[in-house]
Amino acid sequence: MDPIAAADAPYAVELEAGTVYVWCACGRSKAQPYCDGSHVGTGLAPKVFKAEKSGTAYLCACKRTKTKPYCDGSHKTT
């Protein structure tokens, strides 16, 4: 199953250095941009990552980024 876009622009979120986050890779989570388990049965898996620094980060919402979980501008291409 393919991921679905959750939004047309990235999510600006505040991350805390050293904290582990679970980014939704399927686009089905109601807790965007984070995983709520909605991927079960899709064959897709969330991306678990540890924030390297504290501050604002832009997490991908279109689910096409090559730099998961961070936005790489893929939402701007068709």
Contact in structure between 43 and 16 (CB atoms under 8 Å):
no
pTM above 0.85, yes or no: yes
Mean pLDDT of the region 36-44: 97
| 4 to 38, 40, 42, 55, 78: CA distances (angstroms) | 12, 14, 11, 27, 14
Can you tell me whether residue 76 is helix, strand or coil? helix
Domain that holds residue 29: 1-78
Contact in structure between 5 and 63 (CB atoms under 8 Å):
yes
**Residues 46-68 pLDDT 10s:** 999 999 999 999 999 999 999 99
Number of domains in the chain: 1
